[in-house]
């Protein structure tokens, strides 16, 4: 039997993106009210969507790395390879 990674729940990805939009949009709204501007909510929404997409990508990349080898592994930097001691 081969081990396969559990399927990724799409609702987790969706909720990360929505949470980024809501959180950073709310921060932008608060800054708009505080500073008397009208553009920070838009910047917050775009920034939140971008960061939400980045967290989805990072979590999927992390899952790929851990499922491929059975554990999180990172390549050794060149200065720490064996034989260079």
The answer to whether the Cα torsion of 31, 34, 39, 41 is positive or negative is positive
Specify the pLDDT at position 56.
Answer: 93
Structure-model confidence comparison of residues 1 and 25, the more confident one: 25
Instruction: List strand residue ranges (DSSP E) for the chain, in order.
Output: none
Predicted TM-score (pTM) of this structure: 0.67
Tell me the per-residue pLDDT of 36-78, one tens digit each, with 9 for 90 and over.
999 999 999 999 999 999 999 998 887 666 665 555 555 556 6
Say how many domains are in the chain: 1
Structural domain contains residue 81:
no
Residue 43 forms part of a structural domain: yes
More confidently predicted of 43 and 1? 43
Q: What is the distance between the alpha carbons of residues 13 and 32, in angstroms, rounded to a whole number?
A: 28
User: What pLDDT shows up at residue 66?
Assistant: 65
Is residue 23 within 8 Å of 51, Cβ to Cβ? no
- Residue 21 in contact with residue 49, Cβ under 8 Å? yes
Q: Residue 46 sits in which domain range?
A: 12-68
């Amino acid at each position: 039997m081969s081990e396969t990674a559990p399927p990724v729940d799409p609702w987790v990805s969706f909720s990360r993106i929505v949470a980024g939009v809501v959180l950073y949009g709310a921060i932008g709204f608060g800054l708009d009210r505080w500073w008397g501007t009208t553009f920070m909510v838009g910047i917050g929404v775009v920034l939140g969507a971008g960061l939400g997409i980045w967290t989805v990508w990072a979590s999927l990349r992390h899952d790929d790395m851990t499922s491929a080898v059975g554990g999180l592994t990172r390549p050794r930097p060149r200065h720490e390879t064996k034989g260079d001691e």
